[in-house]
Amino acid sequence: MSNLYAGLEARDPMALDDAGDHYTKHVMAMTAEKLHSKADIAAELGYRDMRITELEAENTRLIEQLIAERVENQRLRSVILAVNPNTPFSVIEAQVLAEDE
């Protein structure tokens, strides 16, 4: 098994709090919810790892979908310009292409 917590001493609780109260809110919640045993904490961390994995997969899917939509958008722009190069759309297209570069 890999060392999931190697380098744990490098995590600075004050820096975590400075970045958004990430340490103290967990200490307070664990105390209030009586989450004291390693098993309880490991179950919570495992659940969070699972959700992070799911969200990363969803993020990847959405990025891939966005890329596919941009490709299709470019294809449709080319079709419109090929059908009527003097359309007002051609002016907009030139502006968009300049922005994309």
Q: What is the pLDDT of residue 79?
A: 83
Q: Report the predicted TM-score, pTM, of the whole model to 2 decimal places.
A: 0.64
Can you read off the two tokens belonging to residue 56?
């990363």
Contacts of 24 (CB under 8 A, 6+ apart): 13, 17
Question: pLDDT tens digit string along 14-50?
Answer: 988 999 998 999 999 999 988 889 999 999 999 999 9
Average pLDDT over residues 80-92: 70
What string of H, E and C letters represents the secondary structure of 43-83? Answer: HHHHHHHHHHHHHHHHHHHHHHHHHHHHHHHHHHHHHHHHH
